[in-house]
Amino acid sequence: MFRNTNPILSVSNVNKHETISNARANPSGGGQTTHHGFDAAEFRRIDGLDKEPLVVTAGRVDWERLGRKAYDLFVGAAGRAPQAQFAVMGKSHDDSTEYLTAIATSNITFTGWLSDDDLLRWLSRGEGYGRALAEAMYFGLPVIGADRGASKELVEHGASGFLFESGSDESLASHIFALYEDHELRRRFGKKGRDFIQRKANYDQDVGAQFYSILTRLWGC
């Protein structure tokens, strides 16, 4: 199917290259990338909170995503950084959470599904494509992503966040510790990341309209 496709539309450059490579495709229209977006108007920015450092990963929790979302690495990193507090925020859909809980240290919490009010309480005590990273960056939060995949299209290592060595909980923990210990670094990363999202990533624009524009241009409509 991909070999006869013209063109291939992808949500990241990594996704585009992997699709073309794995399908051994050579689409005559090439590949087009339009990043996932979100409606910034639906998010509330909460300023002025005196937040304690809290390391968060968010998303659905199940066996299929355990490795892909690196929940096991996140739990391992918590064990290497006992001075920090960690939270896995997301609804559990099977017994994978029981496995993670069994290997977790006391400084990590599995919240399950959270309402907006519950999320706000957590904030006042204290994430194919990295949409969760983009959302966090939009709110000026320092982020850490893996050094492979689409995270590299969002995070400039050492400038707007950190990229940890994929598969290494030691690498992840070292970057978490660096941010945990340095308030000014967290502030600087947060500002740089927010500036990037607002200036380049166009997350406040209609992604559907961007796809429509690409299709009409390619098909001469």
Confidence of residue 123 (pLDDT cuts 50, 70, 90): very low
User: In this structure, are 100 and 54 located in the same domain?
Assistant: yes
Mean of all residue pLDDT scores within the chain: 75
Indicate whether 15 belongs to any domain.
Answer: yes
pLDDT at position 51, please? 59
The distance between the two most distant Cα atoms of the chain, rounded to a whole number of Å, is 59
User: In this structure, are 116 and 159 located in the same domain?
Assistant: yes
Which residues pair with residue 109 across a beta bridge?
87
User: In this structure, are 15 and 109 located in the same domain?
Assistant: no
| Dihedral angle over CA of 55, 62, 93, 76, nearest 10 | -40
The whole domain housing 26 covers 1-34
User: In this structure, are 82 and 151 located in the same domain?
Assistant: yes
Indicate whether 195 belongs to any domain.
Answer: yes
The rounded distance, in Å, linking the Cα atoms of 119 and 126 is 11
- pLDDT by residue (tens digit) across 84-93? 888 888 888 8
Number of domains comprising the chain: 2
Q: What DSSP state is assigned to residue 3? A: G
User: In this structure, are 76 and 157 located in the same domain?
Assistant: yes
Q: Do residues 77 and 172 lie in contact, with contact meaning Cβ atoms separated by under 8 Å? A: yes
- pLDDT by residue (tens digit) across 19-61? 667 666 565 556 667 666 666 665 555 555 455 677 888 888 8
- pLDDT by residue (tens digit) across 181-221? 899 999 999 999 998 887 765 555 555 666 667 666 665 55
Question: Could you tell me the pTM of the whole model?
Answer: 0.54
